[in-house]
Amino acid sequence: MTTPVQSTIASDARAIDSEVIALRRELHGVPEVGLQLPETQRIVLRELDGLGLEITTGRELSSVVAVLRGGAPGASAGPAVLLRADMDALPVREATGLPHAPAPGSPHADRMHACGHDIHTAALIGAARLLAAGREELEGDVVFMFQPGEEGFDGAGRMIDEGVLDAAGRPLAAAYGLHVFSSWYSRGSVTTRPGTVMAGSTALDVTVRGAGGHASAPHRAKDPIVVAAEILLALQTMVTRTVDVFDPVVITAGSFSAGAQRNIIPTEASFSAIIRSFSRATGEQTAQRAVTLATGIAAAHGLVADIQTREEFPITVNDSAETARAIEVVERVLGPGRFEPLTFPQAGSEDFSRVLQAVPGAYLFVGAAVVDDVESAAANHSPSAMFDESLISDCAALLAGLALERIQPYPREGTDR
C-alpha cells in the first residue's frame, strides 16, 4: 500500500509555500560567497532546529550535514539517501530592484544569489520538514547536504573529504540534487537525461611576458597585449579544427588583464579561461593543445607565455536507473506533463559530479523563469536574474519525493505493499 506521506507530499509542500518563500527571501538578502557562509549557516541551523535531526557542521567550511533517521521497523538497515543543496552566492551587484535584494551599503551589497542557490537551500529545508513529519513511516535514512562553495570552490569535494558520504553510517543507496534556471527551460518544467548531463571543466590561465615601452614605438617593445589577444582568438579556431563536433568542447575566457594606461605598452598580459568538455579524454587533449598553441604563438613573436591548466570538476553523469526513477517521481509528485526530456547535456559544470562519481543518483534542472518567454529572460549569473518563487515548494516536494521513492518505492500496477 502507499504510505500516507507519499500520497500527500505535494499538498503538504503547498501548505508550507509561504514559509519557504519567506525563508528564501531572508537568504536572498544575505548572500555570501565561497566556503565561509556564517550567516547562511546560522539560518539553516535555526530552520532545522526541532526536527529531530543528527546535525554536524563543517570543520573547515560552513557546511551543514543533517541526518534524518527513519522510524519504521528495520529502518536502520534500509536504504540511505542523500539530498543536496548548494548555498553560496556570487560576487555580483544585484540589479533586479527586488525589495528583498541586499540593501545598498550593507556588507552584502556586492553579492547576489544570481544562480538560485537560495532557492535550493529553502527547498531542501522544506524537504527536511516534509520528511521529518513522516519519520515514523520512513523505512530508511535521509542525509541532507547543505553545501558552501559550489561556485568554483569545490565545496562538494571538501564535504566529501570531511565525511558527508559516510554520515548515515552505511553506504548511500542514491544521491539527488536539482538546479533552478532563470531562463532556457520552460517555466515549471523539470528536465534531465541519463548519462552525461553536464560538462567537466578545466581551468586555463595564460600570462604572456614581453617588454614594455612607449605606445608610439611598438617596434621597440614586445607587446604582450596583441599576442595574448591572438592566442585567445586562436584557441577558438583550434577547437573548430581539432575537436570532433560530436564530442564538443567550449573554451571561454572570463577575464583579461593588461596595462594601466593607454599610452604605455605593459610588460605582461594575462587571461583566464575555462575549457568545458563532455569526455575526459577530449578535455585533457584540448588542454594540452592549448598549452602548445599558446607557447608557439608567443615564441613566434619573441615573447614567452606561461600557461597553467588544472582540472576543476569532472563530468556530471546521471545513473540510468536513478534517472528513470526521478522522471517517475516528477510526473507523480508534480503532475503529468511537468517533465521535459533533455536532448543534449548542458555545458555548465558542477561539483555535485563528485558525489555522483561515488554514489548512483541523478541531477535535475528546474525551469524557474518569471516570464513565459524564457529566451528573453536574464540567465543565471546575470545581475538581473530572477526566479519564480512559487516553484520553491515544488522543488521541496520533488526532493522529498525522490528520497521517499528510493527508500520505499511507490507500488507499481499489479503490486501491493
Statement: residue 414 has pLDDT above 80? no
Q: What is the mean pLDDT of residues 402-411?
A: 87
Total-model pTM: 0.90
Q: Provide the H-helix boundaries in 29-140.
A: 38-48, 117-133
203 in helix, strand or coil? strand
CA dist., res. 29 & res. 137, Å (int): 37
User: In this predicted model, what pLDDT tens digit does every residue of 186-206 receive, in sequence order?
Assistant: 999 999 999 999 999 999 999
Q: Would you place residue 29 in the very low, low, confident or very high pLDDT band (cuts 50, 70, 90)? A: very high
Q: Would you place residue 318 in the very low, low, confident or very high pLDDT band (cuts 50, 70, 90)? A: very high
- What is residue 324's predicted lDDT score, i.e. its pLDDT? 97
Q: Would you place residue 415 in the very low, low, confident or very high pLDDT band (cuts 50, 70, 90)? A: very low
Q: Would you place residue 20 in the very low, low, confident or very high pLDDT band (cuts 50, 70, 90)? A: very high
Cβ-contact 85, 182 below 8 angstroms:
no
- Give the chain's mean pLDDT: 94
Q: What is the mean pLDDT of residues 222-240?
A: 97
User: In this predicted model, what pLDDT tens digit does every residue of 43-80 receive, in sequence order?
Assistant: 999 999 999 999 999 999 999 999 999 999 988 899 99
Q: Would you place residue 92 in the very low, low, confident or very high pLDDT band (cuts 50, 70, 90)? A: very high
- What is residue 7's predicted lDDT score, i.e. its pLDDT? 61
Fold of the 200-313 domain = Alpha-Beta Plaits (3.30.70)
Q: How far is CA 49 from CA 23, 189, 222, in A?
A: 14, 32, 62
CATH of domain 4-197+315-407: 3.40.630.10
The dihedral of CA 136, 138, 141, 145: what is its sign?
negative
Q: Locate the domains of the chain by residue range.
A: 4-197+315-407, 200-313
Cβ-contact 200, 250 below 8 angstroms:
no
Q: What is the mean pLDDT of residues 223-231?
A: 97
Statement: residue 413 has pLDDT above 50? no
Q: Which of 91, 105, 108 is nearest to 26 (CA)?
A: 108
- What is residue 411's predicted lDDT score, i.e. its pLDDT? 59
Q: Which of 322, 330, 320 is nearest to 190 (CA)?
A: 330
Other CB atoms within 10 Å distance of the CB of residue 103: 12
- What is residue 105's predicted lDDT score, i.e. its pLDDT? 87
- What is residue 123's predicted lDDT score, i.e. its pLDDT? 98
- What is residue 103's predicted lDDT score, i.e. its pLDDT? 87
Statement: residue 133 has pLDDT above 70? yes
- What is residue 8's predicted lDDT score, i.e. its pLDDT? 84
User: In this predicted model, what pLDDT tens digit does every residue of 97-118 receive, in sequence order?
Assistant: 999 999 888 899 999 999 999 9
Residue 219, amino acid: H
Q: Report the Cα–Cα distance between both ends of the chain, in Å, rounded.
A: 4
Q: What is the mean pLDDT of residues 364-373?
A: 95
Percentage with pLDDT > 90 across the chain: 93
Q: What is the mean pLDDT of residues 221-235?
A: 97
- What is residue 410's predicted lDDT score, i.e. its pLDDT? 66
User: In this predicted model, what pLDDT tens digit does every residue of 177-188 receive, in sequence order?
Assistant: 999 999 999 999
Statement: residue 345 has pLDDT above 60? yes
CA dist., res. 328 & res. 406, Å (int): 11
Q: Would you place residue 6 in the very low, low, confident or very high pLDDT band (cuts 50, 70, 90)? A: low
Cβ-contact 362, 176 below 8 angstroms:
yes
Q: What is the mean pLDDT of residues 212-218?
A: 95
Statement: residue 91 has pLDDT above 70? yes
Other CB atoms within 10 Å distance of the CB of residue 308: 11
With b meaning 16 or more CB within 10 Å and e meaning fewer, what string describes 188-208?
bbbbbbbebbbbbbbbbebbb
- What is residue 409's predicted lDDT score, i.e. its pLDDT? 80
The dihedral of CA 103, 107, 112, 117: what is its sign?
negative
